[in-house]
Amino acid sequence: MSTIVIGLSLGMLLFLLAAGLTLIFGMLGVINFAHGAVYMLGAYISYETGRRTGSFLMGVLAATLLTALVGAVVEKLTLRPLYERPHFYQLILTFGLILVLSDLVRFIWGPGYQEVAIPPLWSGTVDMLGSTIPMYRLFVIGFGALISVGLYLVLEKSTFGMLVRAASSDAEMVRILGLPVGAIRMAVFAIGCGLSGLAGAIAAPLFPIELGMATNTIIDCFIVVILGGLGNIRGAIAASMLIGMVRALGYVYLPGWVDIMTFVLLIGTLLTRPQGLFYRTARTA
């Protein structure tokens, strides 16, 4: 039972992180290599805010809002002039953002590790089917499920979601109709970055906060995007759960093969379903 809970919590954390990249990559066509750096920044902001206020919740809110603000500024000042240019301009820009954000974090917090304590409300354990389960992992599962449902409803059922889909499929027509395509794109990028910062804040009590976070997670994010299908939120949820369970079971039964199993899954998908495992089962958001 504990392995299943660990797999589900890993999957939910990966979804929180990859959902933002799914939005940005799938709907804006921006290959955002700096997504992991924003995740790292969110974790550090959560740590600093929690240290100063003594509140984990304030750390989560600050990480989400400030990384969303960073995303909005980056989109408006740097990415917006590059939408009509070849994609390698975006690659160079977002790679440069990794260096900028990493140096900024190193300057403020130094190169060492930082830790965030598990909030007292979720610091205990519960017994489930003969296994001792940390309450914080249950919180991560429930919180991730709540965010996934909310994100799905916003993108699929709301007017904003309709505008986002329209702007991603035919931006010129949306512009002709008098709708603010630039503001929609900025909002999508800001939401994507905010989700990444939120993931960093939620992950902070589980993993050490360090500079390597900027690059260690981005590969898993792109795997989720590829498995789930570009812009497909339901696909991202399913792909995140799949990778989380593969990794959790791999750590228990085949610890030396975890990364290999993940990449075999990725390669098999690219060879058989290059548009994503869940491309036909879910409408592109």
Q: Residue 71 domain-assigned? A: yes
Q: Which residues contact 240 (CB under 8 A, 6 or more apart)?
A: 11, 12, 14, 15, 18, 224, 228
Q: Residue 33 domain-assigned? A: yes
- The C-alpha atoms of residue 83 and residue 230 are separated, in whole angstroms, by 18
Q: Residue 277 domain-assigned? A: no
> Of 50, 20, 53, whose CA–CA distance to 37 is shortest?
20
* Domain housing 233: 1-272
DSSP letters for 118-149: PPGGG-SEEEETTEEEEHHHHHHHHHHHHHHH
Q: Residue 282 domain-assigned? A: no
Q: Residue 27 domain-assigned? A: yes
Q: Residue 283 domain-assigned? A: no
At 46-80, the pLDDT tens digits run 999 999 999 999 999 999 999 999 999 999 999 88
The total domain count for the chain is 1
Q: What is the CATH number of the domain that holds 109?
A: 1.10.3470
At 120-150, the pLDDT tens digits run 888 888 888 777 888 999 999 999 999 988 8
Instruction: Give me the residues paired with residue 126 across strands.
Output: 133
Q: Residue 285 domain-assigned? A: no
pTM: 0.89
Q: Residue 280 domain-assigned? A: no
What was the pLDDT predicted at 273?
Answer: 81
